[in-house]
């Protein structure tokens, strides 16, 4: 699934980044979510210095065509590596060339790991049937 991405730099406390991927629709975002799953271990610091436990990628109900993650340290490096593996340009993701607030816009093509719209085909009475 093709998505448009943008990272927001968080320089308060320890450096972290919020990365959002916008898809054509909520269903596309939902189908792309399993390919982005990974273990998150590094807490991030909010603007008041409070530690926030990692949550991983999620799909906000108020903006359902979006996938979002807030991460730092090794988790952030792993997210960037995964996005690069899906076709994003590494230098754009966390770039400061556009702004100190956000990276450069980037495109990514997240593979669909398990598309429920694609059932197994089987033959019944010499007719191909979908599951």
C-alpha to C-alpha distance for 39 and 37, rounded to whole angstroms: 7
> The whole model's pTM is what?
0.83
7-26: per-residue pLDDT in tens?
999 888 788 999 999 999 99
pLDDT tens readout for residues 99-119: 889 999 999 999 997 765 555
When pLDDT is averaged across residues 24-34 and rounded to a whole number, the result is 95
């Amino acid at each position: 699934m093709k998505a448009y991405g943008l990272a927001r730099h968080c320089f308060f406390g320890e450096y972290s980044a919020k990365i959002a991927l916008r898809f054509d629709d909520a269903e596309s975002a939902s189908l792309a979510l399993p390919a982005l799953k990974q273990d998150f271990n590094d807490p991030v610091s909010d603007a008041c210095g409070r530690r926030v436990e990692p949550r991983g990628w999620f799909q906000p109900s108020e903006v359902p065509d979006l996938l979002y993650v807030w991460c730092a340290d090794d988790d952030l490096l792993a997210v960037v590596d995964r996005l690069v593996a899906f076709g994003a340009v590494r230098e754009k993701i966390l770039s400061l060339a556009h702004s100190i607030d956000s990276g450069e816009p980037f495109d990514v093509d997240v593979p669909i790991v398990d598309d429920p719209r694609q059932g197994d085909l089987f033959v019944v009475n010499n007719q191909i049937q979908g599951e």
